[in-house]
Amino acid sequence: MAHTLTPDPELQRFNKAKEAAGTNFRFKPKSIAFNLITMGLIPLSLGYYLYSNEGWKMNKLYRSQPVFINEYKPRQKDL
């Protein structure tokens, strides 16, 4: 046989470390700071920014003219 399905020892070691990562986790100052920043500070600041301007400032960045150049006239079936 060609022995194409031999297990890779480095991949086996990685899988073993990945399975044991949850049992070795401890709350330490470094992990607490990382979790507070990634799960608290970033979503809250992004939500505050998006809620404060409600997208009105964003459309002026990318559009120099209105979407409809002519006056909008609804179709007959829309009435």
Output the pTM of the full model.
0.41
Q: What is the pLDDT of residues 46-67, one digit of tens each?
A: 888 888 877 566 656 666 666 6
Q: What pLDDT does 72 receive?
A: 66
Distance CA 31, CA 39 (A): 12
User: Residue 9's pLDDT band (boundaries 50, 70, 90)?
Assistant: very high
**Between the CA atoms of 41, 44, 49 and 54, what dihedral angle is there, to the nearest 10 degrees?**
170
Task: Output b/e per residue, 30-57; b: 16+ Cβ within 10 A.
Answer: eeeeeeeeeeeeeeeeeeeeeeeeeeee
Q: Does residue 4 have a pLDDT over 80?
A: no
Mean of the pLDDT values across residues 29-49? 90
